[in-house]
Structure 1
């Protein structure tokens, strides 16, 4: 897992339009903040420090209708298997220009198979 205590690069904060603190993620998912920490550790979610001096946050776009976006955990596992840390995963999910739109948009629109194919091609 990435070092969540290091300050975020300004570009990551610019890429992700909205962030949620772990307590906010926990409330949205109906779990405890400790469970959110476990979900990040197990690559069900990814977290980073979006602004200098802040704590770790999860991109708000990773949640939809009170659930983790379908396909996100599998995509995060693929990216981690390719050597990405959480910060790199978040950046890839919000910037990959090889798809029509960002991977996060495709996941949220239930077009995860094309995103996974692109992630598999990274190997």
Structure 2
């Protein structure tokens, strides 16, 4: 089990994500291509999946795409980016992903931008 799989408890394989969003699998692939979400291979079967926490109120967490962009600009690859989003941080009382889900995108993006310095 990878470090990422230890940090993220609930994963959605891409077909399950498509069903949850009520879009085609092609629509999910478009979200990945647009970098609105990131999918990684997890589990014993090595299936492309996304963290269930990327979903909120029937859609993708609104501030996720911009945060992904900032982290990529800081040099993070997909797995490193997800590890950062899901690593608990005492100063946040949770993870950066929890803070994004709570609407605290400015604070999280500021932290993400500081990583490139």
> Scaled by the length of structure 1, what TM-score is found?
0.86
Could you say which residue in structure 2 is the equivalent of 1:16? Answer: 8
**Paired residue for 2:73?**
81
> In structure 2, which of residues 95, 98, 103 is the aligned counterpart of residue 105 of structure 1?
98
Alignment RMSD, CA only? 1.5
Question: Structure 2 unaligned runs (5+)?
Answer: none
* 1:35 paired to 2:27: yes
Distance 2:21 2:42 in 1: 21
Q: Which has the higher strand share?
A: 2
Distance 1:69 1:81, change over 3 A: same
Where do 4+ consecutive residues of structure 1 move more than 3 Å?
Answer: none
Offset at residue 23 of structure 1 (A): 0.8
- Total equivalences in the alignment: 115
> Is residue 59 of structure 1 aligned with residue 56 of structure 2?
no
**Deviations 1:63-97 (CA, angstroms, capped at 9, x unpaired):** 01111012000000111112212111111100163
